[in-house]
Amino acid sequence: MKKIFFAAFLAVGCMLAGNAHAQVGHGGEPLFNHSQAKVQSDPVLMPFLDSQKFIEEDMSRVKGSGPMRIGIQHNCDIDVLENATVVKDNRGTHYLLSLSSEGATFQSLNFDRFELPEGASLFIYDRSGDFVLGSFDGTDVLKDGSFITQAVPGDELFIEYNVPAGSEQGKLHISQLCHGYKDIFHKISSVYDDAESLMKGYHGSAEGSCHINAVCPEGDDWRDQIRSVVAIQINTQYAAFMCSGALVNNTRHDKTPYVLSAYHCQEESSETGAITNFVFYFGYQTNSCNGTSGPYNRSVSGADRVAKYNYNTGSDFCLFRLSRDVPNSFQPYYAGWDRSDVASFSPGIAIHHPGGDYKKLSFPKSIVRGNGNLAKFLIVSWYTGSQNKGTTEQGSSGSPIFNADKRIVGQLFAGYSSCTNPSGGDYYGRVYSSWTGNNTQTGSLQPWLDPENTGVTTLDGLDYNQVGIDVNGEPSYQSLKVYPNPSDGNIRFDVDAMGDANYKVYDVTGRCVKEGRTILTSTTQAVDLRMLPQGTYVLHLYTSSQRYSSTIIIK
């Protein structure tokens, strides 16, 4: 909601993907990426969208008077197997399909049916073949049976679906294709150069150039916290948008993938239509301090909104739980937090994605508690003149503000600041106010970030390669790889341990719903939870030397 103070709209933007492999795939290389079969595949053409029309519409809007629209959705009815070119050889059957939306700067896909047999693989790539998503397999399906891709650059993408000989075909159906009409990394349009200068900054689509690239020396004391901040792509019924957020720690130190952002980043309206899915981008930042390119190819698709509290009566927060654990290859950091009820905090740093841009840093002058109607918010002011080191913009919404102790104390709601108006203040929903929220399970942070009800007011962050320490000084939980996940409850896990082990399963309220004992051998590492109803659970496994934890989904 950044830029219009307390107005009810979705202040978000969309984002483009990058070079090399992206999203959480299983490795491998496509077979037909650079082959003649790819060139001969006739594309399925999307209805024409006038990108320049949408740009002109955006230019006619008062700054901040509506969502930062950046992509338009095509509603589709595309059966991949029925429309694809089919190639058969001794390896199996290969389905090749290209999709084209004329003039698009990027495309992304929503599969509403994603049923891949064992051994089948899916790749998605651009025309150059330099950008490849995948491989994906049947384990990547989300709990509602769908699958989401991050954005693929250009106006044509290629789908390669490989099925082993003797296997069933499976089912792949596309219900939505996003046509990106703004290229936030290069030019908005070759025609609207004036529009480009007004809508973009020095890098990406940030309007101002006062923000500092995250890799610059000014961030050297904040390298861990920088790794916690993500860009969030929000796909809706009609368009696509973006917000910022942060991966956060909880008192179990079990690396449950919670992301804190803003309520208005997931709010549905007549303009957005129903939200269909989310994509979370990690490590989206430039390669160098003055660089104009960098990685934006690490993403996790899908999430549940486990808790939220609106801006009319609350602190404008939303807590997401990602559909899967964040891979260690992303080097994630689970940020700490401070829920203290104090009049002010010693200022630390704001880390955000202004306008869908690469990750930026801004340094506040003060962080003080609001009064009266603003009691649920922190008021953040910025340095002015030659002392200024950044502010915030649309797209920064939901991003964290850290105090000097390197803990999150709020997430961005709204404000007046900009690089041209650094004296304008910003408003962040207080972690203190969000902690109890509206005193419900789905309207407060406490049940999720302090599931054991320890009562702590501050919590330090946790690195991806650390074993956390709980409040009693005991070693915390290591991440446990569980498969398949989601499953019917009959699960296996991969742990370097032998012998007796105990386990406990907790539901989303923190209640232990099952516990038992299993024997770990080199060939058998499994538990049967099929008696539990569908839902999301946390599994704790206890061996003689270590404790393990994983979030599991039973469908």
Query: Domains of the chain by range and CATH?
Result: 20-180 (2.60.120.290), 193-448 (2.40.10.10), 477-554 (2.60.40.3080)
C-beta separation of 114 from 159 below 8 A: no
| CA distances, 450 to each of 179, 258, 321, 437, 447 (Å) | 41, 12, 15, 14, 6
* CB neighbour list of residue 512: distance below 8 Å, 6 or more residues apart: 504, 505, 506
Amino acid 296: pLDDT:
65
Q: Which residues make Cβ contacts (< 8 Å) with residue 310, sequence separation at least 6?
A: 263, 267, 316
Token couple for 525 = 């590492």
pLDDT at residue 233 in the model: 87
Q: What is the largest CA-CA distance in the chain?
A: 72
End-to-end CA distance of the chain: 35
**Whole-structure pTM value:** 0.79
- Give per-10-residue mean pLDDT for the chain (555 aa): 39 35 73 78 89 77 54 94 94 95 92 95 90 90 90 91 95 95 51 41 59 94 97 90 93 92 89 88 87 74 94 95 90 96 97 88 98 96 95 90 98 91 94 97 96 91 75 65 88 79 79 82 80 87 80 87
pLDDT of 473 reads 55
Instruction: Name the residues annotated as catalytic.
Output: 264, 316, 397
Q: Is 27 left (phi over 0), alpha (psi -120 to 50) or beta?
A: left
How confident is the model at residue 294, as a pLDDT? 66
Rounded to an integer, what distance in angstroms lies between the CA atom of residue 378 and that of residue 367? 6
Give me the residue label for tokens 């907790």: 506
DSSP per position, 444-464: -SHHHHSTT----SEE--EET
Query: Which backbone phi and psi does 406 adopt, to 5 degrees?
Result: 65, 35
pLDDT for residue 87: 93
Instruction: Write down the pLDDT at residue 244.
Output: 93
Digit-coded pLDDT (tens) for 179-227: 988 765 443 334 344 444 433 333 345 667 899 999 999 999 999 999 9
Cα 65 from Cα 528, distance rounded (Å): 53
What is the Cα Rg of the chain in Å? 23
**pLDDT of 475:** 60
